[in-house]
Amino acid sequence: MALTDITPGPAEDEISRLLRTSSLVPLTVTAWDSGALIHASEAAAALIGVPADALRGQSMLEFYVDTEQRRALLRALEAGAGEAFAEIQLRRADGRQIWVKVAAQRITYGGVPCVLAISQDITEQKEQARALTEALEQLRRQASNLNLDERQAAQAASRAKSAFLAHMSHELRSPLNAILGFSEVIRGLHFGREQVEKYAEYSGYIHQAGSHLLALIDDILDIAKVEAGKLDLQPSSFELSELLDECARMMRPMIDGRGLALGVNGRAAGLSLTADRRRTKQMIINLLSNAIKFTHAGGRVELAAQRMADGAIAITVADTGIGMSDDQIAVALEPFGRVESASINDPTGTGLGLPIVKNLIEAHGGRLQIRSQLKRGTLVRLVFPA
């Protein structure tokens, strides 16, 4: 959508095509000096919160929280051979402030020096980074107030945190590398202009890696929330057998796909549980997916619930799979802890499932019990207090 009547010269064909085809990408062309908007894609207009038509004639500078950031971007473009990246704070039309990461390029458009910019909303990342810095700062302040014993304990905790972070970045890096690598191939048209199917295949890999990344980040946030005491459970009373059936239905394709049998114990009928239903389901699904992943074809998985003598309610997931030794159970309960044989059965797992389940059941005031024997199978029990 052209916002002014500048007629593109022949050298601008490329840019015009990009503008026409990129409504999903937040992309703007602004005049170098005034910041006047010459082009804005639908996605760019949505980012600012203004209908694309209403942007006509407006200057991008009106949306800058600090116009010095625009001058700095121009300086960076001059210094960096016409290309630069920057993080910029914008004020949307509704007053909300957002952070965007901008990849900018100096271009001549309609004979006028302009800035072509592609933006990405990074407000959430910024907020998380700020919260992390604050937490670390608080931890540092607290640690400096502690006596020596406590200080050593804090150091151990901080070492554990560092190890966790190191492992986490490693886990995040592999899907990110896949995303960068495959998109690089697409961006560079490495297979030529005709191989559309090849590019579609590669964008499928990017999507897969992106989904994996998202699931991973959800898991990491779950762990972080519990450890920061920020998990708010929403307890309600619900019919347990319904939940078990729901979980069994959900895992049916995975059960069938691996050639296993699944039994759901009927003794749960009539039992009602007071707990956070969504989190209880998350725990059961995690345990079922483990039981399924680590049991060979022909094996059996049992899902059951019962009221114990003391009134506590236990949900049990048992399998006839590869099992674990006591040492291996200890490993499995650590974040990112995976037993060696796991990677053969499940190359994509990250070792966060069990620690999340343990955190969640403990947040309910309950406990996690694991009994297992190598090559015989595993029984995992969630015990909710009476």
Partner interacting with residue 38 (select from Mg ion, ligand ATP, none; CB below 5-8 Å by kind)? none
In whole angstroms, what is the distance from residue 250 CA to residue 43 CA?
Answer: 36
Interacting partner of 105 out of ligand ATP, Mg ion, none (Cβ under 5 to 8 A depending on kind): none
Report whether 305 contacts 338 (CB < 8 A). no
Nearest distance in Å: CB 373, ligand ATP: 10
**Considering the rule CB under 5 A, would residue 28 count as an interface residue with Mg ion?**
no
Q: Which does 338 bind (CB under 5 to 8 A by kind): Mg ion, ligand ATP, none?
A: ligand ATP
Q: How many residues bind Mg ion (CB under 5 A)?
A: 2
Q: Which is nearer to ligand ATP, 277 or 293 (CB)?
A: 293
CB of 199 to ligand ATP, least distance (A): 30
Residue with smaller CB distance to ligand ATP, 175 or 355 = 355
Q: Which residue, chain included where needed, has tokens 């296993």? A: 260
- Residue nearest ligand ATP by beta-carbon distance: 353
Q: How far is residue 284's CA from residue 218's CA, in Å, rounded to a whole number?
A: 17
Please report how many Cα atoms fall inside a 13 Å half-sphere around the Cα of residue 95, on the Cβ side.
0
Footprint on this chain of ligand ATP (rule: CB under 6 A):
290-291, 294, 319, 321-324, 332, 337-339, 342, 346, 349-355, 378
* Positive or negative torsion for Cα 63, 66, 68, 70: negative
Nearest distance in Å: CB 217, ligand ATP = 12
**32, 37, 26, 33: which is closest to 4 by C-alpha?**
37
Which lies closer to ligand ATP via its Cβ, residue 212 or residue 277? 212
**CB under 8 Å, gap of 24 or more: what pairs does 345-351 form?**
345/293, 345/294, 346/293, 346/294, 348/212, 349/293, 350/171, 350/216, 350/219
Exposed (0-12), middle (13-18) or buried (19+): which is 28, by Cβ within 10 Å? buried
Measured from the CB atom, is 112 or 224 closer to ligand ATP? 224
Q: Which is nearer to ligand ATP, 27 or 332 (CB)?
A: 332
Closest-CA residue to 149 (of 141, 157, 161, 139): 157
- CB of 26 within 8 A of CB of 18? no
Q: 91 in the Ramachandran plot: left (φ > 0), alpha (ψ -120 to 50) or beta?
A: beta
Choose the contact partner of 324 out of Mg ion, ligand ATP, none; CB within 5 to 8 A by kind. Answer: ligand ATP
| Partner from ligand ATP, Mg ion, none contacting 335, C-beta within 5 to 8 A by type | none
Residue 241 binding partner per list ligand ATP, Mg ion, none, with a CB distance cut-off of 5 to 8 Å that depends on partner kind: none
Q: Which is nearer to ligand ATP, 98 or 379 (CB)?
A: 379
Nearest residue (CB) to ligand ATP, 273 versus 324: 324
CB 254 within 8 A of CB 289: yes
DSSP string, 239-259: EHHHHHHHHHHHHHHHHHHTT
Q: How far is the CB of 191 from ligand ATP (least distance, A)?
A: 33
- Give 148 or 344: the residue with its C-beta nearer to ligand ATP: 344
Residue 378 contacts Mg ion per CB under 5 A: no
Task: Quote the least distance from Cβ 335 to ligand ATP, whole Å.
Answer: 8
Identify the residue among 26, 323, 353, 355 touching Mg ion (CB under 5 A): 353
